[in-house]
Every structure is written in structure tokens, then in C-alpha cells.
Amino acid sequence: PFNLADAVLDPDGLRHNLLLDTPEMNEGWKDLESALRSLHQQVASTNAQLVLVCIPAAVQVDSSYWWSRNLGVRLDDRVLHDTEFQKRLADFAEREHVALIDLLPEMRSHPDQRLYYTQDGHWTPAGHEVAAAEIAKRLVPMILPLQAGHDW
């Protein structure tokens, strides 16, 4: 039902959320950066490190997930090629010295697997495996130096 409601209420919403191509999305992005900056400061105040994981929408990974077009959602090829959301998040992470794990390249590198359920965009077991492996691959180098400094 939520997919149908989205298609009726804002058929361009998903595309705009991914491409950030409207003034409203740009304002929303500023709010997101502000919230993430605050979170980063809170985490740092506890001597911990914030790690952001960017989870791509299924429609960014493979056009076979574009079934929502049948409901009236308007998508175009830009969501498969433009990575504006990921670029902005990477720029933010670099500016703020926050670790970022962007799962989009890894998810796209498995076109032979169904990583998302067709009907709702959540990960399948294969999607969870790909994401977990990539996150672990990126986290281990961050954790090992921390462990070396402790007598456990």
C-alpha cells in the first residue's frame, strides 16, 4: 500500500530523493548534514568513531527493480548512473572526517544475484550477505588498530 500511495501522492519523489534535483531536496540535504554533524559530535564526545553506511535504493542498483513504474512512479536512467546522493554524502564525510562505507558499487557488482526483494526493496538473504561482507571488509581495518592498543 505505501508504494501505491507514494506513486499517487508524489510520482517523482523517489527520483528526486536520489538525484537531489529540486530546491526542496537541497534544503532537506542541509538538514541531513546538520543532523549528521550533530550525531558525529555526540559520538566523538564519547571517544567513539561514527561510521556511516550508505545503503542504495534497489532502483539505483538494477533497472529490473523498477517495477514501481507500473504503479505510476516516474524513474529515468539517471538513477542508475547519477550518484548525487552518494557523492554528497562522500563529500560530507570527507569534510567532517567521518568514515563512510558506500555499498552502491559493491551492490552493482553482483548483477547475477537478486539482492533486493522485487515487491518492497528490502534486501534478500543474498543482499544481506553482500552488504555484510563489504561492511566487514571495510570495518576490520578500522578495528584492528584499536585492538592493538588494548590488552585483551
Give the pLDDT confidence of 96-131 residue by residue, as tens digits: 999 999 999 999 999 999 999 987 789 999 999 999
- For the ranges 17-31, 41-55, 70-84, 130-144, the lowest mean pLDDT is seen at 70-84
Average pLDDT on 68-85 reads 86
CB 107 within 8 A of CB 130: yes
Average pLDDT on 50-77 reads 87
- For the ranges 22-26, 125-129, 137-141, 143-147, the lowest mean pLDDT is seen at 143-147
Q: pTM for the complete prediction? A: 0.87
CA angle 52/58/64 to nearest 5° reads: 160
Across all residues in the chain, what is the average pLDDT?
89
- Say which amino acid occupies 115: L
State the alpha helices, DSSP H only, in 10-116: 13-19, 23-44, 58-61, 78-81, 84-96, 104-108
Q: Grid coordinates representing 50?
A: 561514527
CB 108 within 8 A of CB 97: no
Predicted local confidence at residue 1, as pLDDT: 47
